[in-house]
Amino acid sequence: MVFKRKLDCVSVGFDYPNIPKAPRSCRRKVINKRTDAMDLLASLAGKLLEECESSSASSNAFEVNNHESFGKEIKQEDHLKSESSDQGNSVSRPAYEKTCVVNSFSFPDDGILERTPVSETKNVKCEGVAEETGDVIVNTGFERDGGLGADACNLEDATALGVQFQKSVCVDGDLKSPSRVNGSLARQGNHTKLGRDDDDDEKLYSYHKFSSKFKSYRSPTIRRIRKSLSSKYWKQMAKDLGHYRADAGVKALYRKRKSCYGYNAWQRETNYKRRRSPDRSSVVTSEGGLSSGSVSKLPEKRDSVKLSIKSFRIPELFIEVPETATVGSLKRTVMEAVSVLLSGGIRVGVLVHGKKIRDDKKTLSQTGISSEENLTNLGFTLEPGPSKAPLPLCSQDPLVPIDPTNLSERSAASPTLDTETHHSDDVANPGNIVDNNHLELVPYQKEITVDEEKPSSDPRALVPLPSLEAEALAIVPLNQKPKRTELAQRRTRRPFSVTEVEALVQAVEELGTGRWRDVKLRAFEDADHRTYVDLKDKWKTLVHTASISPQQRRGEPVPQELLDRVLRAYGYWSQHQGKHQGRGAAAHKDLDMNRGRALESGVSV
């Protein structure tokens, strides 16, 4: 007779058994969240500015464009998935899922730009933009899949992602008040924040110890901003911008998959970024950077070029969600898809008169970009593939270019890209990467003149580049082998539907909690996206969910009936560990779960 461990679930109903677990190796923690697509977009604008702007920029600031909501043009295709439900157990499965193809996003002008004359004056789509009130608006209508249609600028590089900028970042000579920025950003919350609660913002914030002054801005937006100020983001951006020193050996696409803000942290993606470009520019971006776009030039300063990238247009996204999914989850899915697409690695291309400018060392004037005429024909492209970045130090850990096609393998929500367009630039010009990267080894400019005069804000809130960068370097030792190329994408989250939960519960009732492989085979064999580990994890959360009060539960509510069964099964199998595992499901057909539960407190069986 084997004495079983007494379950400590007697009073609380149940709980996980306290099984001592072998110490696990200390894993390095890297505060690193998936680079958000928007970051990149924002950084693009920042880079543009930093490269264009003259040093006299002392009153520059970027206005955040607010996009209350972005309309999505979604093609929907119903993909009936014939349910080969068999498995004898009549375990029901999702009848079918809907596949959505997101073609584009648009961000209606909600008037938020009243203080940014630049973008307001015009919203031209294609090149050949008219000039008005001195503002030169350059167009960057890069699009691959129809819509605006590729224009001359785009011809050369057919591989352009087709991302257009539109009012995602605007340059303005006017310094925006915090509240202003705050307000604009705040409204973005519902659209871009993937997670459900905002609590973690605070956690992250505290982790990065921002100045108390900055804390005066307590809005969620600011918190997000603070969050974005974390060194990891800077590091990422620096890399994205190609400013990292080659010897730094930081991989451009370095992304740590694991977040460390608590359980289920992965669900809480925050997408607000506030960036201060390496030079003198300050960039505040909303996350709504996706839609079509154009670039504007401000007139005021001679010898300087100011641009406003107005929007992005994303290539087609293939999204698959169960029909039972909520609108919220759909939004998150789309958000993730976009993130995956852009964070997977993008590069910026500069086109003048349709010709790609590859020499990053050239000045704008040398390239002729600064001239009015060319400005009119200035274009930018976002291309898939790792942003130009130094190669990693660890030779044994080769930098594997991100291949968007690999992403889709892990996620149905991954963007669908034309394989043939991948890495065109790199492939065609192998040396291009090296050239561009290793030529910009100059550290960031140290001047932080622009924003520091900002009265009510702590300088640190503005993220002085030097220190933060240093911090970033400190936090993540560059030599630390990037371990796995960090290229793998986290799978998109796919909440279990009630139907799936039911199937899982039933399977566990019959098979127990130690045979996940069998559970998978029995009830989720056709659900390719559900691994047995997923099922195990789901069960874990189900048990937890069932143990907490309904008020504490989140997400699509699971019928109490199911939760009851979860507890019952949990209790039963806790006491019958492995004992019946050899038996078939039939052996438990008439399993008296209630009795089993009642016996939970028993010390032995």
- H or E stretch at 172: strand 167-172
Q: Is 494 in the site for DNA (CB under 7 A)?
A: yes
Q: Is 93 in the site for DNA (CB under 7 A)?
A: no
Helix (H, G, I), strand (E, B) or coil at 531: coil
Q: Is 145 in the site for DNA (CB under 7 A)?
A: no
Least Å distance, CB 563 to DNA, is 18
Least Å distance, CB 22 to DNA, is 4
Gyration radius (Cα) of the chain, Å? 26
Q: What is the largest CA-CA distance in the chain?
A: 90
Nearer to DNA, 356 or 553 (CB): 553
In 304-376, which ranges are E strands?
307-310, 317-322, 346-352, 355-357
Q: What are the φ/ψ torsions at residue 378 (nearest 5 degrees)?
A: -85, 135
Q: Is 361 in the site for DNA (CB under 7 A)?
A: no
Q: Per the structure block, which two tokens stand in for 301?
A: 């300063």
Q: Is 263 in the site for DNA (CB under 7 A)?
A: yes
Least Å distance, CB 317 to DNA, is 18
**Which string of x and - marks every residue 29-48 that binds DNA (by CB under 7 A)?**
x-------------------
Q: Is 555 in the site for DNA (CB under 7 A)?
A: no
Q: Is 215 in the site for DNA (CB under 7 A)?
A: no
The count of residues interacting with DNA (CB under 7 A) is: 39
Least Å distance, CB 277 to DNA, is 30
Calculate the alpha carbon distances from 489 to 35, 423, 532 in Å: 11, 18, 19
State how far the Cα of 45 lies from the Cα of 95, in Å rounded to an integer. Answer: 44
Q: Is 24 exposed, middle or buried (0-12, 13-18, 19+ CB in 10 A)?
A: exposed
List 515, 522, 565, 588, residue binding DNA (CB under 7 A)? 515
Q: Is 548 in the site for DNA (CB under 7 A)?
A: no
Q: Is 96 in the site for DNA (CB under 7 A)?
A: no
Q: Is 538 in the site for DNA (CB under 7 A)?
A: yes
Q: Is 21 in the site for DNA (CB under 7 A)?
A: yes
Q: Is 514 in the site for DNA (CB under 7 A)?
A: yes
Q: Is 17 in the site for DNA (CB under 7 A)?
A: yes
List 196, 213, 483, 595, residue binding DNA (CB under 7 A)? 483
Question: Which stretch, 53-61, 293-301, 307-315, 511-519, contacts DNA (CB under 7 A)?
Answer: 511-519
| Residue pair 583/573 in contact by the 8 Å Cβ criterion | no
Question: Which stretch, 257-265, 278-286, 330-338, 549-557, contacts DNA (CB under 7 A)?
Answer: 257-265
Q: Is 518 in the site for DNA (CB under 7 A)?
A: yes
Say which amino acid occupies 420. Answer: E
Least Å distance, CB 494 to DNA, is 4
Question: Which stretch, 85-93, 221-229, 361-369, 535-543, contacts DNA (CB under 7 A)?
Answer: 535-543
Least Å distance, CB 528 to DNA, is 11
In sequence order, what are the residues at sequence separation of 6 or more whose Cβ sits closer than 8 angstroms to the Cβ of residue 557?
Answer: 550
Least Å distance, CB 456 to DNA, is 37
List 353, 493, 553, 580, residue binding DNA (CB under 7 A)? 493
SS3 sequence of 416-438: CCCHHHCCHHHHHCHHHHHHHHH
Q: Is 533 in the site for DNA (CB under 7 A)?
A: yes
Nearer to DNA, 184 or 497 (CB): 497
List 534, 569, 588, 591, residue binding DNA (CB under 7 A)? 534
Which residues does residue 322 pair with via DSSP β-bridges, in sequence order?
97
Query: Sheet holding 294-297: strands in order across?
Result: 61-64, 167-172, 307-310, 294-297, 135-139, 131-132
Pairing of strands 317-322, 97-106: antiparallel
The one-character DSSP state at 575 is H
Least Å distance, CB 162 to DNA, is 27
Helices and strands, number each (H, E), in the chain: 21, 14
Q: Is 490 exposed, middle or buried (0-12, 13-18, 19+ CB in 10 A)?
A: middle
List 1, 2, 12, 22, residue binding DNA (CB under 7 A)? 22
Calculate the alpha carbon distances from 546 to 160, 252, 280, 386, 539 in Å: 49, 43, 53, 43, 10
Which residues form the interface with DNA (CB under 7 A)? 16-17, 19, 21-25, 27, 29, 257-258, 260, 263, 266, 410, 483-484, 488, 490-491, 493-494, 513-518, 529-530, 532-534, 536-538, 540-541
